[in-house]
Structure 1
Amino acid sequence: MTFLNGRVEVHGHRGARGLRPENTLPGFAHALALGVDAVELDVGLTADGVVVVHHDQALSPVTTTDTVPVTPGDPLFPYVGRDLRDLTLAQVRTVDAGVRRLRPGQDDDPFVLTQLPLPGTRPPTLAEVCGLLRVAGDVLPAVELKTDPGWPDDEITRFVAAVAEVLDTHGLTASARLLAFDWRVLTEARRLVPEAARVALVERTTLDPAWLAGLSPDDVTAAAVALDAGVLSPERHLVTPDLVRDAHGLGLPVTVWTVNVASEMARLIEYGVDAIVTDYPDRLRIVLASYGLPLPEPCTTVPLH
């Protein structure tokens, strides 16, 4: 096993999605209390220009539920299912993000079984999460900007600039990692906020020049280097010993997502990946300890919301 930084980082996926409602302040606080190197979160931009934390570009019926309209007779209500870009922060704040639900026609969901419901939890802003992380100290924000190839270039620029402004305001620019499947985001991040590390996300469905800023998907490691990304982050199904070796040969760390089974965590550790993104940071900590690898310290200064 060869790790570029001598260890394997623990990244809490959407906070600790398997244990607390995803992309919420309680979820991030719980991940910090368990002990993680980074919290991964997803962001979008509201109609009034506020960076909010939510996985999908539209409010998801799995993770959010409507309550009441922000004003009586609001023609956009109900809000769930609408794009964040069409809603104001006030409208987004009305939804309950504390209870996970099954998708229509779905029989089960592992996170429904293991996640502690916290009714009444609202979607946070990126600024609020940054405030939490500043209390935590050394934990890195891994911020995924949710776009797709259908976005115009000027909207990409506006989005990256808005995220950069929030990070700068909270003094987190240098420690932040900006993640994207749409690699145009990384190109803009290099131009607008070069201090932040850029993470090239890739999955099977995005192995296409339309997603990779026009670069060839034939060798994603070489493409990420050509883009001047600082980290390659493939989905777990794409990770092989050869991919890790090739990336390391180019000085590129590998962060793999999303890994929740102990045996697979062990396999990827033995491949030499540099970070593992998981919905269950508690499980990953146990596996890392079994290898005698160092663990991030739990944070005792963050209040559990």
Structure 2
Amino acid sequence: MAACGSPSPDSPTGSPAPAAAPTRLRAAFDLEAHRGGAALTTENSLAAYSRALDIGVSTLELDVQVTKDLHVIVSHDTRVNEANCRDTSPAFAGDPLYPYAGKPWRLLTLAEVKTLQCGYQVDKAFPKQNAVVAPIPELADVFALLKKRGADNVSANVEIKSRADDLEVTVPRDVYAQRTWAVVTAAGMSDRVTIQSFDWESLKQVHAIAPRARLVALSAPDYLQVGSPGASPWLGGVDVDDVGGSLVRAAKTIDGVVAVSPDFTFPVDAAMVAQAHAAGLTVIPWTVDDAGDMSRLIDLGVDGIITNHPDDLRKVLQQKGIAVPKPHPAG
């Protein structure tokens, strides 16, 4: 490729050639609504995912937990968030676990979970958020919403929230993987779902039961632990220092991984994007909410962006002449 700013050989005036469009591995840019678009509507709620479909996104990004009776629910926190969820009544008289607020999801049955009402508090980071009070949804409910809207071209990026630094707070990794993938396959969504996690051992567990599952290696410097003695507990046995401190090279050692998803301040730069693409991995940084950052990352050639502001990302893409996803409004 010619150096930037060199005269175009086809230009009689010798004016600079336009910059070449970055090469991406995806045919279409992946616009992912983080927790459904948390800047707009209560995160990880059916209302948020409905709003995201109204706007038009490629992918619904969401977090899952597994209950005591092995139901897969949608929540970021490993425990019931006391600031955002309220108890209504016990699932049965004399329930020793009541009140449920503050308890790990793994200790609660679905019946107990369904008594909770969540969404009372507007996230301080998003003062314009529409707070919607509702029960915690199940993963199957999100898939049912996609079907109801006829959103057959919309994917789901499902995050397993196991914690390598606190394995007791969630169900065991193998159970987490098995139950999550069971819901995916029961809904016929296996070709439209990626499974992501900061805990790469959980990605390995998914691959063990579903070798064709598409996996995404989430990370940030605190998880990679470059320069620290031994392997980070988050990387599934990989010592990042054995691969030159490279997120891409570390992720490539995990079978089934098709993408890296770094904190966008990692930094995500042209070298990282080029290295990932050369390894056959897409780059989907998180969580990008500033239009200037969105524009810069798009120009670097990232394959998608996870954002709390899917409406703003659509505008940036349109300004750059990049096709945006079709909306799927309620009938």
Counterpart of 2:319, as a letter, is S
Deviation at 1:201, TM superposition (A): 0.4
Deviation at 1:69, TM superposition (A): 2.2
| Aligned twin of 1:234 | 262
Residues 1-305 of structure 1 correspond to what in structure 2 (within 5 A)? Answer: 1-101=22-122, 109-111=124-126, 113-119=127-133, 121-135=134-148, 136-149=151-164, 150-151=166-167, 155-208=172-225, 209-217=232-240, 218-228=245-255, 229-238=257-266, 239-300=268-329, 302=330
One-letter amino acid matched to 1:250 = A
Q: Which moved more, 1:212-221 or 1:49-58?
A: 212-221
**Offset of 1:196 from its aligned partner?**
2.2
Alignment-mate amino acid for residue 189 of structure 2: L
CA contact (8 A) 2:66 2:171 kept: no
| Structure 1 unpaired stretches of 5+ | 103-108
Q: For 1:211, what is the secondary structure of its paired residue?
A: coil
Runs (5+) with no aligned partner, structure 2: 1-21, 226-231
Whether the aligned pair in 1 keeps the contact of 2:80 and 2:105 (CA below 8 Å) is: yes
* Secondary structure in 2 matching 1:12: strand
1:214 to 1:57, Cα distance in 2 relative to 1, 3 A: same
C-alpha RMSD of the superposition: 1.7
- How far is 1:73 from its partner? 3.6
Q: Which amino acid aligns with 1:272?
A: G
Once the two structures are TM-superposed, the CA of residue 81 in structure 1 deviates from its matched residue by: 1.2
- Report the CA distance shift for 1:297/1:101 in structure 2 as closer, same or farther (over 3 A): closer
Letter in 2 for 1:23: N
Once the 2 structures are TM-superposed, how far is the Cα of residue 101 of structure 1 from its aligned partner?
4.8
Partner of 2:17: none
227-236 vs 93-102, which moves further? 93-102
Residue 36 of structure 1: how far off its partner (Å)? 0.5
For the 8 Å contact 2:40–2:309, the answer to whether it is kept is yes
Q: Contact 1:8 / 1:269 at 8 angstroms: preserved in 2?
A: no
Is 289-298 or 88-97 further displaced after alignment? 88-97
C-alpha separation between the residues in 2 aligned to 1:84 and 1:177?
A: 23
Q: How far did 1:159 drift?
A: 1.2
Q: Which amino acid aligns with 2:253?
A: A
**2:117 match: secondary structure:** coil
CA distance in 2, matches of 1:101, 1:86: 27
What is the CA distance between 1:79 and its match in structure 2?
A: 1.3
Shift of 1:63: 3.2
Distance in 2, matches of 1:99 and 1:297, equals 31
Quote the offset at 1:8 in angstroms.
Answer: 2.2
**More helix as a share of residues:** 1
3-state SS of paired residue (2:48): helix
Deviation at 1:6, TM superposition (A): 4.2
Bigger radius of gyration: 2
Give the drift of 1:194: 2.2
Amino acid at match of 1:292: G
SS at match of 1:28: helix
Letter in 1 for 2:158: V
SS in 2 for 1:110: coil
Partner of 1:106: none
- 2:42–2:122 Cα contact (<8 Å) kept: no
Name the CA shift for 1:101/1:66 in 2 (closer, same or farther; >3 Å).
Answer: farther
- Whole-angstrom distance in 1 between the partners of 2:289 and 2:260: 19
Letter in structure 2 aligned against 1:51:
V
Alignment size in residue pairs? 294
Structure 1 distance, partners of 2:263, 2:139, is 24
8 Å CA contact 2:122, 2:130 repeated in 1? no
4+ residue runs of structure 1 moved beyond 6 angstroms?
A: none
TM-superposed CA distance for 1:154, in Å, is 8.5
For 1:99 and 1:33, the matched residues in 2 are separated by 23
- For the Cα contact (< 8 Å) 1:174–1:195, is it kept in 2? no
For 1:205, the aligned partner's letter is: D
Q: Take 1:233 and 1:63, find their aligned partners in 2: how far apart are those partners? A: 27
| C-alpha spacing 1:62/1:283, structure 2 compared with 1 (3 Å) | farther
Residues 62 and 101, structure 1, Cα contact 8 Å, conserved in 2: no
Q: Distance in 1 between matches of 2:115 and 2:199?
A: 29
The letter for the 2-side match of 1:260 is: D
Contact 1:61 1:101 in 2 (8 A): no
Instruction: Judge conservation of contact 2:36–2:62 (CA < 8 Å) in 1.
Output: yes
